[in-house]
């Protein structure tokens, strides 16, 4: 009997573990569909659609999931698609998210699959471009769906594929995005235990991955300030109250919030006025000026402090000038927060996939992401995938949301492998208390 047990133990040492076997399958299957993923990405890039108008993109996704035998729901939060892949063994529910929408930007990049699309945006005809890389996110998640569906009998858990519309914000007068998907139950039935997401980055070298625990992308608030003065002839400014001069003083005053009121070694923050509107003629001091801007913060307490100081500075400057000031702050996306325990648990997977030297801790980003609404509901991990060609520098690479934005899609397979292996490794390491 002892001899038989020793033989069994020796044999077990020679066999790959269950997790290792699945990871090997992932690598092989991801490499096999590399060209297909690139083709999907280029087709989606060539045919972009604006927020809440991703009809053809959603149709393409739905057809693909249907061909894989994945249960799905369409029309979630207008055009979203949610697929459910049930594994052959019991385990946790892991959600994977990709955003689908493009931007009102006219493409300037000279590539065979450049967008020529035009559409209406807020009453204007605009060019449409995937100037933030959401086309790559969709193609990657379609690839992940194919890889994991081929392995479904061996999966110890369930995968939810969330294809989300309107990450860039719903059109005026509409709801949308991750917040609406959450409201409509995208994380329910079955209930999600954790969620993973990625974002391509045009200034990060291809085939590398950046991540950060806790606050990784900023919360964003929209700011509107109305300054009401008293209209008068431009030749007689003493006869009225000049809201333009008052607004100018407010703009300068707001810039002291970050530089003088915040503990900026704790977390970065930004207060920006992006538009000032007032007046119709050179010789008329108008009655009212409206300013709009954005607030970015990575710490909730600092966010509250910024709001307080904006109100104090604007209203006090207005009072000193004899003007009335109205401040409206509308909260937008929360801080994109990476659960620290989940992040620590899964970084090893990224290092295994990309190579330890190709995974790095990055600075926080003052851009915002509505993945944050999902990560408020369940533990989340959001990371950045390199898309910058290896032969250029970050200074040479065009930023996101610009006509020259470019992604080297030779790194998409790394995205497929990363999301697939995060899913499998989480399932294999799962304990019930982890997702609660």
* Alpha-helical runs (H) found in 116-212: 134-149, 177-183
Q: Are 380 and 341 in contact (CB under 8 A)?
A: no
Question: Angle 412-429/340-354 helices, nearest 10 degrees?
Answer: 130
208-to-29, 127, 200, 269 alpha-carbon distances in Å: 20, 31, 10, 27
Q: 125: helix, coil or strand?
A: strand
Q: How far apart are CA 18 and CA 23, in angstroms?
A: 9
Element (H, E) at 90: strand 89-99
Q: How far apart are CA 383 and CA 338, in angstroms?
A: 9
Residue matched to tokens 């020679």 = 14
Q: Are 117 and 48 in contact (CB under 8 A)?
A: yes
Q: Which residues pair with 76 in a beta bridge?
A: 80
Residues catalogued as catalytic: 101, 167
Q: How far apart are CA 126 and CA 30, in angstroms?
A: 36
Q: Are 380 and 194 in contact (CB under 8 A)?
A: yes
Q: How far apart are CA 63 and CA 404, in angstroms?
A: 31
At a CB cut-off of 8 Å and minimum separation 6, what does 350 contact?
209, 211, 359, 383, 418, 422
Residue 411 structure tokens = 């790194």
């Amino acid at each position: 009997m002892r001899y038989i047990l020793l033989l069994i133990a020796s044999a077990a040492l020679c066999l790959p573990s269950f997790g290792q076997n699945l990871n090997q399958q992932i690598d092989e299957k991801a490499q096999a569909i590399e060209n297909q993923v690139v083709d999907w990405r280029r087709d989606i890039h060539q045919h972009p659609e604006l927020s809440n108008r991703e009809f053809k993109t959603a149709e393409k996704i739905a057809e693909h999931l249907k061909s894989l035998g994945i249960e799905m729901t369409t029309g979630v939060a207008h055009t979203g698609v949610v697929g459910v892949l049930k594994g052959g063994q019991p385990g946790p529910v892991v959600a994977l998210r990709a955003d689908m929408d493009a931007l009102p930007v006219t493409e300037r990049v000279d590539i065979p699959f450049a967008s020529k699309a035009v559409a209406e945006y807020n009453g204007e005809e605009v060019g449409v471009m995937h100037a933030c890389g959401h086309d790559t996110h969709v193609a990657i998640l379609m690839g992940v769906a194919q890889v994991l569906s081929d392995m479904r009998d061996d999966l110890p858990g369930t995968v939810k594929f969330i294809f989300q519309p309107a990450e860039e914000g719903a059109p005026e007068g509409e709801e949308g995005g991750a917040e609406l998907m959450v409201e409509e139950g995208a994380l329910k039935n079955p209930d999600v235990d954790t969620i993973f997401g990625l974002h391509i980055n045009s200034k990060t070298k291809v085939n590398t991955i950046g991540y950060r625990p806790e606050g990784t992308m900023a919360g964003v608030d929209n700011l509107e300030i109305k300054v009401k003065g008293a209209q008068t002839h431009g030749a007689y400014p003493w006869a009225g109250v000049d809201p333009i001069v008052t607004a100018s003083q407010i703009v300068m005053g707001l810039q002291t919030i970050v530089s003088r009121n915040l503990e900026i070694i704790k977390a970065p923050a930004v207060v920006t006025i992006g538009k000032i509107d007032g007046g119709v003629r050179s010789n008329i001091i108008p009655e009212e000026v409206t300013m709009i801007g954005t607030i970015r913060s990575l710490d909730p307490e600092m966010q509250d402090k910024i709001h307080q100081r904006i109100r104090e500075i604007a209203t006090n400057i207005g009072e000193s000038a004899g003007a009335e000031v109205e401040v409206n702050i509308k909260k937008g996306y929360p801080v994109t927060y990476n659960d620290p325990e989940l992040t620590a648990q899964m970084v090893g997977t990224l290092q295994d996939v990309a190579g330890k030297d190709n995974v790095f801790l990055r600075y926080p980003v003052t851009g915002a992401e509505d993945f944050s609404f999902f990560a408020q509901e369940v533990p989340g991990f959001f990371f950045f995938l390199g898309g910058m060609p290896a032969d250029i520098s970050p200074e040479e690479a065009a930023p996101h949301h610009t006509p020259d934005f470019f992604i080297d899609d030779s790194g998409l397979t790394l995205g497929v492998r990363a999301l697939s292996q995060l899913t499998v490794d989480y399932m294999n390491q799962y304990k019930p208390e982890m997702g609660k």
